[in-house]
Structure 1
Amino acid sequence: MTEVVEQFEARLPLMLDDLETLVTCESPSADAAAVARSADLVAQLGAERLGSKPEYLVVDGCTHLRWRLGDGPRRVLVLAHHDTVWPIGSLVTHPFQNEGGVLRGPGCFDMKAGLVMALHAISTLPSASVTLLVTGDEELGSPSSRQLIEAEATGCSATLVLEASADAGALKLERKGVSVYEVRITGRAAHAGLEPELGVNASVEAAHQVLAVSNLGDAGRGTTVTPSVLTAGTTRNTVPAAAAFFVDARAWTVEEQLRVNEAMHALRPVLPGSSLEILGGPNRPPLERKMSDELYARASRLALDLGLPPLRSVAVGGGSDGNFTAGIGTPTLDGLGAVGGGAHADDEHVLVAELPPRTALLAALITDLQGTP
């Protein structure tokens, strides 16, 4: 099977050309026009590599792409996204570079290299039954693509997620579930100097609630509940009539995620005359290890067959679209994308030499899941 790796080593120059094309088309998630331009480019490249045009799926103004290839009974879903966290103009300060075996540029690691890998791996498997879904809002939490992702994963034998790998190429077998909340507090305004006793101080109520929320975490279970952005008041000499803060909660298990959710919605005001409104809830279910173990065992065996170093695995706190597919019961393996580092940071980079073996592993895994040599 080392010939499979050699096949992708021969394709490396074309893969790098494709990656430069995608990285130099900026696609910040919140810019619908930029995402649409990027989708057109991905569609063009995909048509060239896969021999067919994708379906355009525009949901709430966001452009997603879907290729459904083959018609076998053991369909595999390959998941990628083409949006990034980098704003328009980032190429000025973070230009595309490929020097000394290290490739740089906004979104190269997270996750345009993974998208290129998917296109090239699938292009070598003309008889495979594969759905490639490329979404445009993953970095926003997938608000418009979640239903598409879950619908495509339903009935598939596996989902392979081309998110970037963890340190040293480790695959991501567990991801925490993510919940997002906003706590809105209503008090009563009054003059802070003349008659503060007539007011109900929303800032003070917010302080009580922030402390209560911060105590909902459980370090022993790895559950974090973090109050983040906080706003309150209007002027220095006015008792604040309103306040609000956001909460980021993460848990390894569904049970912990539901416990936190119940506790958040059970919050009650402390100050007489104040009131609370709790918005939000679970955004992504956990990707639990039981949904990845069998796929990881397959991938580990295939890596040895390909002559690659033994695979490594990690559990990470960040979420991905793989959380959704695992949450509906589809076996899911995440972190199959590029090896490198610096996602969302100034040092974002891809190790070029790792692209061919990683792409070979992806192609071998798709083939193995379909029971073909």
Structure 2
Amino acid sequence: MDDVLKFMEDHREDILEDIRYLVEADSPSLDKERSDRCGERIQELLERHFGKRAEVIPEPDYGDHLKFEYGDGEETILILSHFDTVWDPGELEYRVEDDLAYGPGILDMKGGLVQAMWALKAVKELGLPLNKKVVHLFTSEEELSSPVSRHVIRRVAEGSSAVLVTEPPEVGSGALKTARKGSARYTIRFTGQSAHSGNNHHEGASAIRAAARATEYLESLTDYDKGTTLNVGMIRGGGKLNVVSDQAEIGVDVRASTIAEQERIDGIIKGLEPFMERTKLEASGGISRPPMERTEGTAELFRLAREAGAEIGVPLEETSVGGVSDGNLTAAMGIPTIDGLGAVGVGIHARNEHIVISEIPKRAAIFAKLLVKI
């Protein structure tokens, strides 16, 4: 058996125990106290495996971020992991059933976080050669679109040779993610003129009607061939049925595959004119995460990952997905970025969230080999 894979197989139960230790520390994005407790458990694991703790990047409103450095070199490999979850405390519990381990955030993404930690431990224990410094950044509010850590990520990523993201691979295929759509969100508020719907209907200008016309127009901009989707996922307005509404608003989610297309749609939304006479509209919001576009650098990272997989008999494929991650941020900086290097499983943000235990050693071994190959 391959030495790296054997190391992971020999320590499979230890890796799973570390995963359990983090999963049992609930860490909702908006709960700083619990997030910091989970961060302390990450520190304990780092101290146990590497003899030192991570640098704490204080955060007053969310959990503190952690920056761990290993090795030396003029160039840097950045590993991105987040430890916040979408689950309220006690909402889900850790449990094991046959080859599956369940729990809040176990797939998204505490399993992948621990696998990456053990990949670096394998490099250390087996004396594998590294010619670059490895920086592992642990953030606490990715599920909220990284409102604060995005600035930390960009600062830490500056000058990195490669970025490895420990989100899970594609469900079903296990494919690594070499491209992701970008996301943007907007709120559009409509103001009309109220009137009695029976006596003076003609004097009114319905904000709801204007919002409906805007909804039809915006969703018509969806172009599946380009990979562009616009979804009006929220609409509200009015109140009493006998009053022409003078207030309404809609919420719009936009996904696009290229920065150029994302910016084109952004310009359209911010340049919208009223859809009805005697109404006004105001659009707020904007681009949240740019697309993670597949580049030659990303293709090279995937080639190395595929080689690593082939060495232990795991054929790897690549894919493009519609969801976003922190990898979108580093890819937009021009840094080769590959995603989906985390745990194999099913149920992101679902009550059946779980990982496949027998896949842990393989994916951790691939990660370790990829570090060395880079």
Please give the TM-score of this superposition, normalised by the length of structure 1: 0.94
Q: Which residue of 1 aligns with 2:150?
A: 146
Match of 2:182 in 1: 177
* Mapped pair 1:34 → 2:34: yes
Matches within 5 A, 1:16-165: 16-59=16-59, 61-62=61-62, 63-91=64-92, 95-126=93-124, 129-165=133-169
For 2:351, what is the secondary structure of its paired residue?
Answer: coil
Kindly report which structure 2 residues correspond to 1:1-373, keeping only aligned pairs within 5 A, or say none. 2-59=2-59, 61-62=61-62, 63-91=64-92, 95-126=93-124, 129-166=133-170, 167-290=172-295, 291-305=297-311, 307-369=312-374
Superposed CA RMSD: 1.6
Q: Could you tell me how far 1:318 is from its partner in structure 2?
A: 0.3
**What does the per-residue CA deviation read over 1:116-172, in whole Å, with 9 as the maximum and x for residues that have no partner?**
111111223346611100111111111111011111111111000000111232101
* Range with bigger deviation, 186-195 or 176-185: 186-195
AA partner of residue 161 (structure 2): S
On the 8 A contact 1:118/1:359 being kept in 2, the answer is yes
Distance 1:155 1:365 in 2: 19
Residue 180 of structure 1: SS of its match in structure 2? strand
Q: Which runs of 5+ in 2 are unaligned?
A: 125-129
Equivalents in 2 of 1:72, 1:242: separation in Å? 59
3-state SS, counterpart of residue 347 of structure 1: coil
Q: Aligned AA for 1:86? A: W
Question: What percentage of residue pairs aligned between the two structures are identical?
Answer: 38
CA distances 1:273-321 after superposition (whole Å, capped 9, x unpaired): 211111111111111111521100011112222x222111111100000
Asked if 2 retains the 8 angstrom alpha-carbon contact of 1:173 and 1:333, the reply is: yes
Mapped contact 2:194–2:243 kept (Cα < 8 A): yes
Cα distance in 2 for residues equivalent to 1:117 and 1:185:
49
CA distance in 2, matches of 1:198, 1:37: 59
Residue aligned with 1:125, SS: helix
Q: Separation in 1 of the partners of 2:49 and 2:339?
A: 23
Residue 60 of structure 1 deviates from its aligned partner by: 5.1
| AA in 2 matched with 1:82 | F
Mean CA deviation greater in 65-74 or 223-232 = 65-74
Contact residue 59 and residue 145 of structure 1 kept, 8 A: no
- Count of paired positions: 365
On the 8 A contact 1:168/1:340 being kept in 2, the answer is: no
Q: How far apart are the structure 1 equivalents of 2:257 and 2:53?
A: 39
Q: In the TM superposition, what whole-angstrom CA distance separates every residue of 1:323-346 from its partner, at most 9, and x where no partner exists?
A: 101000110010000011111112
Aligned counterparts of 1:227 and 1:316: Cα–Cα separation in 2: 20
Contact 1:169 1:338 in 2 (8 A): no
C-alpha distance 51-235 of structure 1, shift in aligned 2 (>3 A): farther
* Distance in structure 2 (CA, Å) of the matches to 1:284 and 1:125: 33
Report the CA distance between 1:237 and its aligned residue: 2.7
> How does the TM-score come out when normalised to structure 2?
0.93
Contact 2:197 2:244 in 1 (8 A): yes
- What's the offset of the Cα at 1:48? 1.8
Gaps in structure 1 of 5+ consecutive residues: none
Amino acid of the residue matched to residue 160 of structure 1?
Answer: L
Contact in 1 for aligned 2:4/2:122 (Cα 8 Å): no
Measure the CA separation in 2 of the matches of 1:296 and 1:255.
24
* d(CA) in 1 for partners of 2:137, 2:80: 5
Distance 1:239 1:210 in 2: 19
8 Å contact from structure 2 (residues 190, 282) kept in 1: yes
Distance in 1 (CA, whole Å) between partners of 2:340 and 2:77 is 16
Q: What are the Cα deviations for residues 50-87 of structure 1, in whole angstroms up to 9, with x where unaligned?
A: 32111222335122111122331121000100011112
Worse-matched range after superposition: 65-74 or 224-233: 65-74
Aligned partners of 1:222 and 1:44: how far apart in 2?
43
